[in-house]
Structure formats: structure tokens, C-alpha cells
Structure 1
């Protein structure tokens, strides 16, 4: 299934994408896609519904992030071999974990806003997974069973905050609109091999990133198992799993986003994000 949340910010309703690519309204069956409604049992009930029986949502309706009420937004650093090399850093022996504030989450096509005093805003196409059942000290062989679905994520980053301001990466990763998710949350049964998906990112029509999840240093199953040794992952939590090479800060010469730029992200089977960069505003 491809699950969505549609409507204006703060008033989104749950829906799904039918075989014709149309949004169908699920609000008569589930109130929202919070963690409580992402359990295997709930997803099985939704899967049994005939999409043709659901009201059709008008084309062009805004899509929000496909999960609501996220409490933990965890990210992985340097998880693609070529990306680690382009930054001049060693291949990590263990996953590098950092936080993105859940308040940075926004819809897949919402404007991305420069934070105040930003100098070096960068892009990162990533695949994220959303927890569907509580994960605590999970073994790798059981890890994927805890995932409700996968979605696109742009791990938008402010490099001067991240690198030059000392302390933790979270400062450069958590500004308002720095966590676009979606357009869809795709359940695992709709993905043949999550470790063989192509990722791309374009800025103003020019290809900047090309990668494949097959080149991850740590697989999604390894990441979930690893994280669960240090914290409990609850339903609705989001983990974004690292980016392939081609980020602006590693290019020669370096490139950064500016107001008016359009950023387009794609991952096989997970859809497309298309966002404009806009100036800071209160």
C-alpha cells in the first residue's frame, strides 16, 4: 500500500493511493497515521479495503508528511561508502547516529525555508523507515518486521551550523522545514528489495546525486537492530538512513542552495518530492 496524509497543515486526513494513482480518503476507517495506527493488525485491515469504495480526493490536494505525531526522528551519518569518501572521512566502524527535531518535519512538496543566519544550506536524498511496532533490543533477523513502511526524506542540512558552530550535528539538521517526508509511506510488501533502490536528487534540473541503497555501509535491518540497543523505537518514529555521494558541501567547488532553487528527489517505488527554497520569514 501507498499511504498518504492530505490536506492543509495541521488538518491532514489519512488516505491511500489507488492503482490509478488517485488519492482515496481513509478517514472513515482510521483517524490519522499516527504510530498507534501503523501496527501490522491495523495495516492488514486497511489492506482489505477496496480502494474503489473510498471517496476520491481532488487532484492537486496538498500532501503532508505520511506519518503524524513522530516523537523520535533519528538520522544516520556517512552511511554510503562513496559519500564517506567524498567528505574525506573514514568508513564508520559503527553507525553514526544523530537527531533531527521532529518539529522540522513537513510535507514532500512544501517550501523549504532558509533558517535565520543561514550560509550553507545543503541537500541529502535519503530513504527513511517508519516504525510500526515497538523495537527494543531487536535482533537483525527480526528487524524488518518492526517497520510499517518506507518513504523519501530530504535530510536538509545547514553546514555552517553543523560544522562551524561546534557541538552536535542536530543544530545543522533541525531547522523548520528541514525534514520533508513522503509523498507516500510504502508498506514493505510493495517493495521487492529495499536494499536495491535507486536514489536521485536534482537541483534546478541538474543531477546532483545518484546512488543505490545497495551501497549502504549498514543495511536497514542492521540500523534498526543497532539503534534498538541504545533506545526504544516506538511506532511512528522515523529513521532516515544516510545519503549517497553528491552533496553540495563535498563538490568542487562547493555548491549550496539559494532562494528560488527547486529540489527534486526520487527513489524507486517511493515517489518524488519537488520543493522550492524560500527566504527566511517569521
Structure 2
């Protein structure tokens, strides 16, 4: 299923299922079919595969009249981040594509050697925003605002010391994340100030359940700025794949339902170009992952807000 968190005008946000050009409201459909469904993404994820099966059955058995009663055109909705307020920080993975390791070594003073274990950082929940929203550029803080298209993994159950061979069993679904980075805000090698500022974790436009992604390790991902392609690669080139990442994270952290893992970006970031290219107010950045969709955001000056 393609799941979405959306809002109509100024009403509270709701959970929906995308079918063609419409959004089917989960709570309204459940009420109509006398089979209750939650109205927010995290509560729905908590239901696991049972919730997906229940919702799929309700959608498939609904009449045209019933669907009309509990749906709205996508064009009438404001699409929010799939999980607008995660329960905890997003796990970020750095230097997870070979060519990105090389370009970072040239421009960001990181090691040219391939990492021997995943490079982990985090992004606060306050960094999350959705598609068609603004990314805030505070020019008093940074002059090096950069982009990073990434596949994000959402966990459907938690655990500790998860075996690599079982790791994908813990995945609920996938979305797109743009790991916005202020390259000149790193502090003593720490990245959270660089990557954790408000609006620096745009996600979306939808959450796709794992049953719709045949192979998460063979997805094209790309990014454009003002329509010009800057990144183009495939998740098969990850140094540490999703199994590796879930296993490694679970050896040091207790993973929980709803956790988000941003799996790293390929080469082509602005800092790695010659000359370097950074984003400025007015720029439009679009991040795309095959099978999920395109996440679109506009850079705005913090002084204009």
C-alpha cells in the first residue's frame, strides 16, 4: 500500500491510502465498514502486517459509493511527511556509497578509506518536514547548504541484536528522505548541527509498505536542483545494505517500531563538485526513489519568514 499523512485545509491531519488519484481516509473507511482503523501513521504501523491486510481488504471490498464517501482527490489535499513527528531521532548513515566516500575525502576532510562499520549520526524530530514545503536557509549560520537523496527505512517492529539474515523481517516500509546538510556547521567532527537544523529532514511524499518493493537493494535514486540532475545512482551500490544497518544499529541501540533509518547518499552532492555548488533561496530541489515517488522542496531565507 501507499500510505500518506494528509490534511484538508486547516483540519487535523489524517492517515490515508492512495488509490490512483484519490486518498481514501483510513478512519472514515474503517467506520463505514465497521472495522476500525487508526487515523495516524504511527498507530497504523503499530498494527503491523495485520493492519495492512485489514486495510487492503476494506479497500478491495468497498463499493464505489463507499469509496466516494470517504475519499478526496489528491489535488485537494496537503501532503505532510508520512510520520510528521517521529517518536525519536532519525538514524542517519554517512559515507555509505563508495564514490561518495571519495568525494567527501576530497572536499570534507573525511577519510578516503572505506568505513569498516556504518557511520551513524542522528537528526532530531524537529527537522522533519514534508513534500512541497520550505527548507529554511539561515545564512547567519551556514553558507554551504547541501542536498542528499536517500532511501529511508521505517521499522515495523523493534528488537535488539537482530541477525542480518532476519533484518528485513523488521522493515515496515520505505520513503524518500533528503538529508539536508550545512557543510560548514560540523563541530569537532560531529554532524548533528550540520544535519539536524529545522526542516533539514524532508520526507515523503508517501510511505510504501515493503510488500510493494520487490528488492530495496535495487532501486534507482536521483536528485535535481532547479531541474538539473545532480545525483543518479542505485541502492545496490550501498557499502552496508539494509540488513547490515539494522543488525549494526541493533547491537548498540534498542530499535523500536516506527524507527526511521536514512540509509546514506550516493555521489554528486554539492560539496563534492568542482567548483562546489550549494543551495540558495529560490532553489527547488527534487529527490526521487524508484517505486516511491518524488519529494519536492523550495529553499527559503530564514529572514523572509
Distance in 1 between residues matched to 2:143 and 2:136, nearest whole Å: 13
1:76 counterpart residue number: 93
Q: How does the TM-score come out when normalised to structure 2?
A: 0.87
> After alignment, is 26-35 or 94-103 more displaced?
26-35
2:26 counterpart residue number: 26
Deviation digits for residues 146-167 of structure 1 (CA, Å, limit 9, x no counterpart): 11100000000000002xx325
Structure 1 segments of 4 or more deviating over 6 A?
Answer: none
5+ residue gaps in structure 1? none
Deviation digits for residues 196-228 of structure 1 (CA, Å, limit 9, x no counterpart): 000110001111001100100011111111100
1:41 counterpart residue number: 50
Per the TM alignment, residue 110 of structure 1 is displaced from its structure 2 partner at its CA by: 1.1
Contact 1:201 1:209 in 2 (8 A): yes
2:102 to 67, 85, 88: 85
Distance in 1 between residues matched to 2:41 and 2:128, nearest whole Å: 14
Per the TM alignment, residue 86 of structure 1 is displaced from its structure 2 partner at its CA by: 1.5
1:56 counterpart residue number: 71
Secondary structure of 1:183's aligned partner: strand
Per the TM alignment, residue 22 of structure 1 is displaced from its structure 2 partner at its CA by: 2.1
2:196 counterpart residue number: 174
Per the TM alignment, residue 69 of structure 1 is displaced from its structure 2 partner at its CA by: 3.8
Distance in 1 between residues matched to 2:147 and 2:43, nearest whole Å: 27
Larger radius of gyration: 2
Length, aligned pairs only: 279
Contact 2:4 2:15 in 1 (8 A): yes
1:104 counterpart residue number: 127
Distance in 2 between residues matched to 1:117 and 1:72, nearest whole Å: 22
Secondary structure of 2:174's aligned partner: strand
Distance in 1 between residues matched to 2:56 and 2:240, nearest whole Å: 31
Counterparts in 2 of 1:110-125, with a 5 A limit? Answer: 110-115=133-138, 116-125=140-149
Counterparts in 2 of 1:96-175, with a 5 A limit? Answer: 96-115=119-138, 116-162=140-186, 165-175=187-197
Distance in 1 between residues matched to 2:279 and 2:269, nearest whole Å: 11
Q: Do the aligned partners of residues 35 and 252 (structure 1) sit closer, same or farther apart at CA in structure 2, a change above 3 Å counting? A: farther
Contact 1:149 1:185 in 2 (8 A): yes
Secondary structure of 1:34's aligned partner: helix
1:201 counterpart residue number: 223
Distance in 2 between residues matched to 1:201 and 1:80, nearest whole Å: 15
5+ residue gaps in structure 2? 29-36, 106-111
Distance in 2 between residues matched to 1:232 and 1:107, nearest whole Å: 27
> After alignment, is 149-158 or 109-118 more displaced?
109-118
2:293 to 261, 271, 277: 271
Q: Do the aligned partners of residues 167 and 84 (structure 1) sit closer, same or farther apart at CA in structure 2, a change above 3 Å counting? A: closer
Secondary structure of 2:222's aligned partner: strand
Q: Do the aligned partners of residues 276 and 69 (structure 1) sit closer, same or farther apart at CA in structure 2, a change above 3 Å counting? A: closer
2:34 counterpart residue number: none
Q: How does the TM-score come out when normalised to structure 1?
A: 0.94
Distance in 2 between residues matched to 1:172 and 1:219, nearest whole Å: 24
Distance in 1 between residues matched to 2:10 and 2:272, nearest whole Å: 34
Q: Which has the higher helix share?
A: 2
2:118 counterpart residue number: 95
Counterparts in 2 of 1:226-237, with a 5 A limit? Answer: 226-237=248-259
Distance in 2 between residues matched to 1:10 and 1:90, nearest whole Å: 51
Distance in 1 between residues matched to 2:200 and 2:10, nearest whole Å: 15
Deviation digits for residues 93-141 of structure 1 (CA, Å, limit 9, x no counterpart): 1000001111101112211111342210000000001111112111011
Per the TM alignment, residue 273 of structure 1 is displaced from its structure 2 partner at its CA by: 1.0
